[in-house]
A and B are shown apart, each in its own frame.
Chain A
Amino acid sequence: MGDRLRIFLTISCLFLIWISASASIPLSESLGIAPQDLSYYKSDVIKCKDGSKKFTKEQLNDEFCDCPDGTDEPGTSACSQGKFYCRNAGHIPLTVFSSRVNDGICDCCDGSDEYNGIVNCPNTCWEAGKVAREKLQKKIAMFQNGITIRKQEVEEAKQAFAKDEAELLKLKSEEKILKEIVQKLKEQKERIEKAEEEERKKKEEEIRLKEAERKANEAKKAFEESSHDSSDQAPEKLSELPNQDAMEDHHDSAIEEKSDYTAETEISDSQAVGKVANDHDDTIAKSGDETDDTIAKSGDETYDTNEESSFSHVEKQHLVGDQDSTMLKADTDDYTRSKEAPSSHVLEQQGQVLDSTEGLSREELGRHVASRWTGENAAEEEDGVDTAKEQGHEHDEDIPEENHGGYNSYSDEDHNFDDDDFEDDPDMEFGDHEEPAGTDSSDENDKTDYSDLTSSGSSSWLDKIQQTFSNVFQAINFFKSPVNISEADTVRKKYEDSSSKLSKIQSRISSLSEKLKHDFGKDKEFYSFYDRCFETKQNKYVYKVCPFKKASQIEGHSTTQLGYWDKFEESYRVMLFSNGDRCWNGPDRTLKVRLRCGLKDELMDVDEPSRCEYVAILSTPGLCLEEKLKELQEKLEDVNASRPSIHDEL
């Protein structure tokens, strides 16, 4: 018992001595020097690292700065440029500014930076190191998982990319074939219509002649035999009339078939078709140009309600594809409106208010003056802007909503900078808008319609068309007169079907090629981001980031664009959105999304460190990189290696 106690006391004493020895390190020559640097200080005369001077061993850590770069005072605060190395056994070594040496604040967890007795810094390295190690281990584990997920995602992305590329290629060839068909059908249709027209004229002429003849006969009869019985004339006349009626009915059949087709729609329809038919070149590049044009022009264009009504009308007709070009235009209009209208509105209002503060209520005046400093609009103006924005916004919501359903999220997203296009993220809640009543069925139809194009046996539909086309060609004798009514109908129907399909293909081509031209990262790891949006709520704002498209800040009904997709920065570690809505007295808004490794794609921590310059963090497996993992593992090894043995024993 006594022996044990003695041993225990001895050990304790030794331990205490060890502690006190380590706590009051004498000002040694090697103080503040990193181990890898020790050899540099071995010689008797040492060079300043910047080569400017030399100093002797006695001058090392003598509290007098000889080297401007601080080489001679690694362990004191004498040189303003110096650095102090603390070993921090049990934790990570640290290099601190020499201004931290003996400044009364514990900077190194081993307390080595405070040795003049002003403060007593306990050694906390083991505890701090433990926490740090655990953190590091967790991080490593996360990276390991993340890397696995990333691999999967990269694989999927590559497949999806290849699939999209293949689809594009196929669609392009189909487009070519279909174009020819449409062109031929159009010619037929025109020919038929011409023939019909001739037929009709001929019939009319016949009727006119007959009528004239009949009248002449009647007159003659009346004149010749006024007492004669003319009853046999009536049946003849009656039998003629139904014939004529049937003719006219037939003539109008195309219109009747789509009973509520308006003239307007027909015009835009045929225009669209005409355009497509006339473009024998590949339309992809062109359609891009056109869109650009519209965007550029749209500033001058006013929103035409006619356009809107015809447009929704067409929706009801399940003719989405045909209307595509119109829609593009409408959408870009919308987009520019919502972006520009409010700001010009504000400017106007400000201009007005600045000119005269008289006639304002006291509160208004107060708000107005305050707004000089804050840049906020006075309440009334704010309301005005909000409504303007809302209007634009609601506009946006109604129309493409229908559109969206029809294209099953593959619609022309790149032109529709509109919230609703980004609804693909299943996690998202965007319940503000209402589904316009009565469009559901059309959506459904569109979907099924479109599924023709994308279904696995999609090649068959083209074959079918080609087949029926040749059938039609064979079956119809174009020079037969009068025109066979059912044949003409078939041609017309085929023409409409085909051109509608062509439009759909073209819009799909343009959206696909728009997508594929983006840079999706080294391993295409960000491919799945294209059709996704990420949201986070902070205080009263919802932030919505749609990579490759845009980012916005939503407060209730008003949306502020923080920026439109610009590019990746810092080798795919930052997504930059720029040219957002303009700030009062400031720049256009921008958003930098910093990417970091995480197991889930998750947006967090949106911040505005400078006025209208936003930053956010998005965690994603895409950033879980092998190199980084290796780095972390090396760091952990280092930390473990520097573990003081005494702690292992205890």
Chain B
Amino acid sequence: MPSLADRSPPILLLLLLLLLLLLLLFFSAASAWKKDEFRNCEQTPFCKRARGRKPHSIPSLSAADVSLSDGAVSARLLPSQPLRQATAGDDPESDRDPPRPLLLRLSVYPGGVLRLQIDEDPSAPRRRFQVPDVLLPDLDNRRLWLPRLSSPAAGSSSSFYLADGFEAVLIHDPFEIQVRWKGSGEPVLSLNSHGLFDFEQLRAKKNDDEDWEERFRGHTDTRPHGPQSISFDVSFHSADFVYGIPEHASSSLSLRPTSGPGVEHSEPYRLFNLDVFEYVADSPFGLYGAIPFMLSHGAGSSSGFFWLNAAEMQIDVLAPGWDDPAAPAKGRIDTLWMSEAGVVDAFFFVGPEPKDVLRQYTGITGTPAMPQEFAVAYHQCRWNYRDEQDVAAVDAGFDEHDIPYDVLWLDIEHTDGKRYFTWDRVLFPNPKEMQEKLAAKGRHMVTIVDPHIKRDDSFYIHKEATERGYYVKDATGKDFDGWCWAGSSSYGDVLNPKVREWWAEKFSFQNYVGSTPTLYIWNDMNEPSVFNIPEITMPRDAIHYGDVEHRELHNAYGYYFHMATSNGLLKRGNGKDRPFVLSRAFFAGSQRYGTVWTGDNSANWDQLRASVPMILTLGLTGLSFSGADVGGFFGNPEPELLVRWYQLGAYYPFFRAHAHQDTKRREPWLFG
């Protein structure tokens, strides 16, 4: 602003300008992110309950019948003392039946990975959901066979080999899991050290008066199976910082404490895949993807913890002194993990180097797929390149200005009424020819394919999905009918492997009319985004394959969709052409299927800044092939911002410029 200072206009004018600016800012802030439309922890009963607990305030569980079976440790978790009525009344749902024993299993994988599984016993009224197809298929074969258990101190704990220099310990009463250095006994990771482990077991309704329903913004979640949340504390010892658990927009790579002394009122980090309109640059609220994997790093060593659970998760990073303000722990970070449903299927990674933690994590969820060369080059996208002439003109523009680019993208408007796999016949009468023209110059094209399927009886995909029963069902058992770009839409039940196979077939050259071998795919809106449901996503009581509730797998829906698309491209090329699929939603393991980006960001400096920790965080959690929309999706970047964004974007692993349809054109040569 040197020119302002030079001219020194009347102060009144300056003040007026400032006021106008503030008003504008206020207006834009008010019109952007709809905070009220998303649930916070207070409005989420399981989160509110778990977050309100003090350390060791709930009845503890102890491990009984600890033994080795099939080369793994197994035990039963039972109440430490006969159940007291002391805590009854702190909330209605704590009024429980005497708990059944929980089944605990500890197993070890090569490279320093300890797996903890806790589930209900077979007498539970319903089987809890275990997220399938995320862990590498050969993981079971790689499991280490534990030869023995040692019980050093009069049977109060059992320890066993974990990796060279590390051992795992199960402390019996109250039960606690520890990973520690073998010689010194220094702890690395521990679970339930603060006695916050709580497992709401499935049960029958006590009486018909009991109200399990949850209401939010005019929508009722029937919750037919009642409360079933799980929460526990995890401690990272010898840790100064923790990282990971994307996706959140943040100006900081390390995770800031969300609770405890010195923390202003903050929400926990929320992992719940959501299509957030105009998200803000610094917030623990959930965005498009979820990877419940946290890394710690300290002067001594690094370690990691991963909870394979696809239900809504909330994670608190607790500031030192949260448990005892008088004696804040030094060099240790405690965290509180809360999930609405599912089981405990958790992995402890011993490290000790950061790269070891990554190797251990990707050892179970997979390494990133090798991208094709063109995919790591520059991508040019816009909502929307309108027609074939527009495509040709943009392509020519790059040549004319000697700017290299490799991929041109088509957003939703290229379709016939948002029926994916179709082309708007007026705007794109010759899609093959168009792609071939690009291909002649070594360039590729990407079209968008979203998961919502237009409910139009003349649309073959809708017809097939309806006839075969391939759609997600609503709570009443009918095909779920939501609203998205296509209008009234249904969603393929991609949890079902058969549906994924069916979906993959749609990408064959015969099925996807107008596609050529140089056409690749973009999966958007796969959180899934449903415009007319609170939080802009599918209701939690929608029903998937195997009677799984949507609440149980929500965070993995986009992952399965991404997987199906990627497999479709693989099949299309007879396994000889590496797929390229960009997805907005993601989960642990998405790295195996393609790339992701940070969704609908905005053209401002804060978001430019936030893109760096966001992308680095994705890299730290295995999703190394990721990027942010260069230039910012919403709004018009000033030329300086756009230049800087290109400069930064060149270093994004996935480098794509994208823009909202309301923005001004910003192909790189338009700025002189």
Q: List A residues at the B interface (Cβ < 8 Å).
A: 97, 99, 104-105, 354, 357-359, 362-370, 372-375, 539, 583-586, 607-611, 613
Contact = CB atoms under 8 A, between A and B. Distances in A.
B647 interface: no
B660 to A, nearest CB: 7
A366 B665 contact: no
B217 interface: yes
Interface in B507-534: 530-532
Contacts of B272: none
B441 A363 contact: no
Interface string B634-662: 00000000000000000000000000111
Interface in B390-435: 390, 402, 404, 426
Contacts of A611: 661-664
B482 interface: yes
A366 B217 contact: no
B277 interface: yes
Interface stretch (B483-491, B493-501, B548-556): B483-491
A366 B662 contact: no
Contact of B402 (A97, A372, A539, A584): A97
Contacts of B278: 372
A382 to B, nearest CB: 14
6 contacts: A358-B218, A365-B531, A366-B482, A370-B483, A370-B485, A607-B386
Contact of A366 (B277, B390, B483): B483
A374 B488 contact: no
B484 A370 contact: yes
Contacts of A365: 483, 531-532
Interface of B: 31, 37, 217-218, 277-278, 386, 390, 402, 404, 426, 440-442, 482-485, 487-488, 530-532, 536, 600, 660-665
A609 B487 CA distance: 26
Nearest to A585: B662
B599 to A, nearest CB: 12
Given A359-B218, A366-B484, A373-B600, 17 more contacts: A105-B440, A354-B31, A357-B37, A363-B488, A363-B532, A364-B532, A365-B483, A366-B487, A366-B530, A369-B483, A370-B484, A370-B531, A373-B277, A586-B662, A609-B390, A610-B663, A611-B661
Contact of B662 (A359, A368, A370, A583): A583
B532 A375 contact: no
A373 B483 contact: no
B660 A373 contact: yes
Given A370-B531, A611-B664, A363 B440 contact: no
A367 B390 CA distance: 28
A99 B398 CA distance: 13
Contacts, number: 68
Contacts of B665: 609-610, 613
B440 A613 contact: no
Contacts of B218: 358-359
Nearest to B32: A372
| Chain B, interface SS category | loop
B395 to A, nearest CB: 13
Contacts of A366: 482-484, 487-488, 530-532
Nearest to A104: B442
Contact of B277 (A99, A372, A539, A583): A372
B604 to A, nearest CB: 15
B532 A362 contact: yes
A608 B661 CA distance: 11
Contacts of B404: 99
A422 to B, nearest CB: 28
A369 B532 contact: yes
A455 B591 CA distance: 84
Nearest to A359: B218
Contacts of A357: 37, 217
A592 to B, nearest CB: 13
A367 B661 contact: no
A97 B664 CA distance: 28
Interface centre among A366, A375, A539 (most CB of B within 10 A): A366
B664 A367 contact: no
A388 to B, nearest CB: 22
B454 to A, nearest CB: 13
Interface centre among A369, A375, A586 (most CB of B within 10 A): A369
Contacts of A374: 661
A584 B664 CA distance: 13
Contacts of B484: 366, 370
B425 to A, nearest CB: 11
A374 B3 CA distance: 37
A585 B277 CA distance: 14
Nearest to B389: A607
A375 B662 contact: yes
A14 B254 CA distance: 75
Contacts of A367: 483, 531
A613 B402 contact: no
A357 B218 CA distance: 9
Contacts of A368: 531
- List the 5 closest A-B pairs by CB distance, nearest first: A366-B483, A366-B532, A369-B531, A365-B532, A366-B531
Contacts of B487: 366
B236 to A, nearest CB: 39
A641 to B, nearest CB: 27
A222 B616 CA distance: 125
Nearest to A369: B531
Contacts of A584: 662
A97 B441 CA distance: 15
Contacts of B600: 373
A366 B489 CA distance: 11
Contacts of B536: 369
B442 A99 contact: no
Contact of B664 (A104, A362, A613): A613
B370 to A, nearest CB: 23
Interface centre among A584, A586, A607, A610 (most CB of B within 10 A): A610
A65 to B, nearest CB: 15
A373 B663 CA distance: 12
Nearest to A98: B402
B482 A99 contact: no
A132 B386 CA distance: 29
Contacts of B664: 610-611, 613
Contacts of B440: 105
Contacts of A369: 277, 483, 531-532, 536
Contacts of A373: 277, 600, 660
B216 to A, nearest CB: 11
A99 B482 CA distance: 50
A207 to B, nearest CB: 74
A535 B174 CA distance: 83
Contacts of B488: 363, 366
Nearest to A370: B531
Nearest to A97: B402
Interface centre among A97, A105, A373, A585 (most CB of B within 10 A): A373
Nearest to B383: A373
Contact of B426 (A104, A354, A539, A586): A539
A369 B536 CA distance: 8
Nearest to B387: A607
B669 to A, nearest CB: 13
Nearest to B529: A369
A367 B660 CA distance: 18
Contacts of A370: 483-485, 531
A609 B667 CA distance: 11
Nearest to A609: B665
A105 B402 contact: no
A363 B662 CA distance: 24
B644 to A, nearest CB: 22
A362 B483 contact: yes
A67 B665 CA distance: 35
B402 A99 contact: yes
Contacts of B402: 97, 99
Contacts of B532: 362-366, 369
A372 B634 CA distance: 11
